[in-house]
Structure 1
């Protein structure tokens, strides 16, 4: 009986993942319960209750949170885009509804939130007291530590189809979790002969770091595939979209990944003249030639950027 229940839960997870993948790519659209229920192959009557039971969050609460967190990221990273343009591009009907929702979540206006970024030096926010300002219950980190890449470039890449397994919850600094997820994915793809000599491995981050509380963070570990393959259960497939990316190549110990992301997002991006677009951020793990015994690994961080 437990086996049946577990298999049923895995099927539900797969359906919820498909819905979340769709929402993530269509935040600017009017997302209806009926439309999303159809993607999940549930009745509209039951879908919202199932979604809450599976995720601990209401469907509309999830959509609203994603829109606001993405808006927060754009406010901090894309000074060229007006607050009104950000609001409308993320599905808010007008700036007034966005302003109300934003202040309800962050306790300040969007312009005040953006000022935090503009008042920051290259390495830390000015010494003004910000202990009363919090994001998702966490005090804004006034000091930013980072590690520099060994190489940095801007290049265009082709789209890549991947198989993934997804984790929801805290993952920062948890090397055991990453190892477990990659091992589970490898067992799955290897048992189906999907692994090729040139298969590539990635970690995709669906949320916005400190702008999302740890319990709601989503991580997908992935392997590239070159043809349509069948996935089932907790394993799904999606596209890592091609286009222009800033690529930072780092040599990292297991506890340095956040420092590398800090460099790309808080140091390089604001000073580069580039702005991010709507594609997902990810890490790519190139072949580690002659490095199996070393503590440090080569990791490439991909930041999607809009054409200038």
Structure 2
């Protein structure tokens, strides 16, 4: 009989496989039997196991993820119609989507889109209040005080409007190669708990695996302004080769390549959430680009030198998947 810790790690790998499959196939039918087979559980037990593991039934989880992804699309992809976004997350009609959306968020999809600017402002205002920061108190995060972006050919986009001056970052458009990664998953509120997860679980694990020194990634799968804090998912990941086999609770996947907006962050762990929010609120709408369905992530390309000794300051790259137009 498997030891309790070993059994729990195996369950984590199976459930992570299901969650990742769901996110990649929100536009397709996702029936219990197929997901149970993916997790190597019997359909009879899978529904109960999923509910116990996630704290909500499979049906509730599928509905919530579809609506949250659509809500992100309404905010970040203003050129896509409500019906297009509804179909992209698996709803059969705009009417069914509108009813479900209003029941979940308390407003129509059109009202949600119209209120995006005010909602972002309120969310950022609360983040700033919690940090105790005013715009003029905040450090600049680039070298020359400008916010610019250029693509691989060297052309420039207009800088974002200056409604907010908290974070001013150079944003470069780069084509990144796909990367095979091994990861441990955390589910819960973003913020200080992720730092604890990184140092108490992820760092000891990569050292035990002999993986220290490789590029690391922090992958946030959910928008904390939309998803309830206790249900947000975050993967602490590290680059691995094609022959690596995971151990413990780790899973292996491929981080997609393609076009990304890449910005250098330097600050403490309290500030990174606000930096992400500023990029989405200020830079993205003014860039002429849209965010697609690949995950956003933080890249620590020099993990040994990512933290400045004795200061609590660290640096990384913030990477947003984008498409032109």
Q: Is the 8 A contact 2:307 2:314 kept in 1?
A: no
Aligned to 1:297: 314
CA shift at 1:23, angstroms?
A: 0.8
Aligned to 2:131: none
Unaligned runs of 5+ in 2: 129-163
Aligned to 2:29: 30
Q: Is the 8 A contact 1:286 1:298 kept in 2?
A: no
Match of 1:275 among 290, 298, 320: 290
Question: In the comparison of the two structures, how many residue pairs are matched?
Answer: 287
Aligned to 1:168: 187
Structure 1 residues 89-142: Cα deviation after superposition (integer angstroms, max 9, x where no partner): 11111111111110110111000110102x549x837xxxxxxxxxxxxxx666
TM-score (norm 1): 0.86
SS in 1 for 2:280: helix
Aligned to 1:7: 6
Unaligned runs of 5+ in 1: 126-139
CA shift at 1:21, angstroms?
A: 1.0
Aligned to 1:95: 94
CA shift at 1:290, angstroms?
A: 8.7
SS in 2 for 1:12: helix
Aligned to 1:131: none
CA distance in 2, matches of 1:232, 1:165: 10
CA shift at 1:232, angstroms?
A: 3.7
Q: Is the 8 A contact 2:288 2:324 kept in 1?
A: no
Residue 77 in structure 1 maps to residue 37 in structure 2:
no
- How has the CA–CA distance of structure 1 residues 225 and 184 changed in structure 2, closer, same or farther, with 3 Å as cutoff? same
Aligned to 2:133: none
Structure 1 residues 249-303: Cα deviation after superposition (integer angstroms, max 9, x where no partner): 1111221111211111111111211111000011112322793333321121111
Aligned to 2:147: none
Residue 201 in structure 1 maps to residue 198 in structure 2:
no
Which deviates the most, 145-154 or 205-214?
145-154
Q: Is the 8 A contact 2:180 2:252 kept in 1?
A: yes
Q: Which has the higher contact order (CA 8 A, sep 6+)?
A: 1
Match of 2:230 among 203, 215, 236: 215
Aligned to 2:160: none
Q: Is the 8 A contact 1:144 1:262 kept in 2?
A: no
SS in 2 for 1:211: coil
CA distance in 2, matches of 1:141, 1:242: 29
Match of 2:173 among 154, 161, 175: 154
Residue 111 in structure 1 maps to residue 110 in structure 2:
yes
Structure 1 residues 117-168: Cα deviation after superposition (integer angstroms, max 9, x where no partner): 2x549x837xxxxxxxxxxxxxx66667573244211111000111100011
SS in 2 for 1:215: helix
Aligned to 2:140: none
Q: Is the 8 A contact 1:162 1:238 kept in 2?
A: yes
- How has the CA–CA distance of structure 1 residues 115 and 232 changed in structure 2, closer, same or farther, with 3 Å as cutoff? same
TM-score (norm 2): 0.82
Q: Calculate the aligned-residue CA RMSD, in Å.
A: 2.3
